[in-house]
Amino acid sequence: MFETGTGKADITVDKKGVGMMGYGMYRNIVLGVETPIYARALVFRDSKTGKKIAYVNCEICFITSAIKSGVVKRFARNHSEFGYGESNLFLTAQHTHSAPGGYSNYGLYNMSIPGFVPEVYTKIVDGIVEAILEAEKSLQPAELKISTGTFDDDLEIAFNRSVLAYNLNPEVEIKRTEEDKHLAVEREMILLRIDTPEGKPIASVNWFGTHTTSLSNDNHLISSDNKGYAAHYHEEEMRKHGKEKFISIFAQHVSGDVSPNFIWDKKKKWMRGKFENDFDSAKFNGNIQFEKAKEIFENAKTSAPLLPEIDYVLMNVDFRNITCNPEFVNGKTDAHTGPSCHGIAFFAGTLEGPGMDPVVTFASKMLSKFIWLWEHIKMPLMKEERRERVKEKYLVQGKKDILIETCDRRILGTDNIKNLFIPGWADRNIQVFKDYHRNGSLDNKPWIPQVLSLHIAIIGTVALVGLPAEITTIAGKRLRKTVADVLKKRGVERVIISSYTNDYCGYITTYEEYQMQCYEGGHTVYGEYTLAAFQTKFKLLAEQLLKKPEERMLSENAEHPEFTEQEIGKRTFKPEMQARLIKQALAGKI
């Protein structure tokens, strides 16, 4: 029999001037709170074997290795009796772009905040632990039922924002346009209903992919955005029926190229949702998700309960040099990844969230091409190690116009960041880079993760693929099939991609989409074979689940780097740095 417990904890930190995580815009700062944000936890336990897993969803942009490590350490130190460790803590985020940042140890994710924010980090870790402990206390016999539903084509819920790249995939038989880009996404919602054996509702969790970006980058109020509103609506609905402890999780699925925004705002010059007021758009989109979840939840009553089974495997993988399985790269035997690099296309942003000024973007692109030419001219004069590294960089990254080598800590070809020829006034994030480089806090570790946690959890006949990234529609289909082809041998009937889980490294596109270098391709950091690398490693991980636990070989367990308090302290958030921005924001000037 399954046992399930539920928990929920507030993780809101209203600290004026802290940058929000998601858009990467320095002016996107916190001035107040529109909605609180929460960590919601479900604990699943097999009463026969005692094996259990905690599934947590947070209303933040993504989970980081710092958060995961903090939760693991907290349980080891203070609550070891519950038996939680890295492999049975499945931490996810619903990806709102309107929650405070500052909870990553890695330099790049600190730039627009700017800095590490101890209060935000501690509140998230505390909230996750609190929610899990509450779930532990409420464990009770439960039945789990899975069901699905599809959004009607006329519902304005999700739209492919990179439809031209989507069309490059050979699987796409019908080429989509801007007029029917709502059909270039997965419109199915998958829902897990959790009841007592007597049929009384306990909780619900669903997976549907659309960005939690109904609120644009000019917002200054903390909000859980469309998925947060959906969760609130569902929980309030159940409270009307006396279910005070009921929790509803609206989790992400395959959402990398999927947006809730579909109307061009002539004033703001970017895409928005149904209404000119972004909060109305967020509520509108959230209500559509809620109504579908409510419908599926009701239909799930008649589904057969899942047989009680819990299993999981986790592996930490270094993505800097993965040789891809030929079956995922059309038979190539030398396709591989490389150290992370971010492209110009990423920093240029999207039509729903513009990034660098177009003039700066154009200039950076020209400089990137010049650096490519200059490094190729200089290559014969380089030392052998440097020469091979440069050759590999361009081979692996392919058509990407590289702006930042985030593993090797270089911007536009130089590691002398503090003296970079781009002036700080041209882009405030560049100024922050210079300041942090000058104080020595960016010197000796990559600026984003190179080691990532890959996680698969099995609950009944459902497998959750814990992905430390966001993945495009077709890439998600390929990865899901890779895992499903293996796990069907042990009776798994449904594979769900759980994005933003345990860590974060950016995007995963298909090889074909990568060639167009839209925003998503520019943020696919380990090169054009990034998807194939994830397929290669997840297939290996899934194969371990076909073995008995004592026979599993998870030898590839790379280690995350340790960040010292001193280096984090040098780039910890200082309110005085934001005084001018706060004043401008309060005056309505940004």
> Domain-by-domain residue ranges, the chain?
2-316+450-551
Mean pLDDT (whole number) for 228-245 = 96
Q: How far apart are CA 383 and CA 256, in angstroms?
A: 39
Whether pLDDT at 165 is above 70: yes
Mean pLDDT (whole number) for 348-354 = 87
Name the residue type at position 88. Answer: N
pLDDT for the residue numbered 358: 87
> Quick check: 370 and 486 in contact, CB under 8 A?
no
pLDDT for the residue numbered 353: 82
Whether pLDDT at 427 is above 90: no
> What percentage of residues in the chain have a pLDDT greater than 70?
100
Mean pLDDT (whole number) for 472-499 = 98
Q: Strand 494-498 relative to strand 462-466: parallel, antiparallel, unpaired?
A: parallel
Contacts of 530 (CB under 8 A, 6+ apart): 319, 337, 508, 509, 514, 524
Whether pLDDT at 557 is above 80: no
Whether pLDDT at 363 is above 80: yes
Q: How far apart are CA 513 and CA 520, in angstroms?
A: 8
pLDDT for the residue numbered 559: 87
> Quick check: 68 and 503 in contact, CB under 8 A?
yes
User: Kindly report the CA angle at 403 between 402 and 407, in degrees rounded to 5?
Assistant: 85
What six digits make up the tokens of 101?
A: 């940042």
pLDDT for the residue numbered 554: 80
Where does residue 492 fall: left (phi above 0), alpha (psi -120 to 50 degrees), or beta otherwise? beta
Candidate ranges 396-405, 555-564, 578-587; pick with highest mean pLDDT: 396-405
pLDDT for the residue numbered 556: 65
> What percentage of residues in the chain have a pLDDT greater than 90?
93
pLDDT band at 98 (very low <50, low <70, confident <90, very high): very high
Q: How far apart are CA 441 and CA 566, in angstroms?
A: 8
pLDDT band at 360 (very low <50, low <70, confident <90, very high): confident
What six digits make up the tokens of 409?
A: 């800590």
* pTM greater than 0.85 (yes/no): yes
Whether pLDDT at 539 is above 90: yes
Whether pLDDT at 158 is above 80: yes
**Could you tell me how far CA 159 lies from the centroid of its own chain?**
18
Q: How far apart are CA 2 and CA 222, in angstroms?
A: 36
Q: Give the closest residue to 202 by CA, choosing from 91, 310, 40.
A: 40
pLDDT for the residue numbered 555: 64
Q: Give the closest residue to 58 by CA, choosing from 79, 36, 84, 37.
A: 37
Whether pLDDT at 110 is above 70: yes
Q: How far apart are CA 328 and CA 343, in angstroms?
A: 24
Contacts of 127 (CB under 8 A, 6+ apart): 9, 10, 11, 38, 39, 58
pLDDT for the residue numbered 181: 98
Mean pLDDT (whole number) for 517-530 = 98
CA distances from 93 to 10, 314, 470 (A): 14, 18, 11
CA distances from 469 to 104, 332, 504, 536 (A): 15, 25, 5, 16
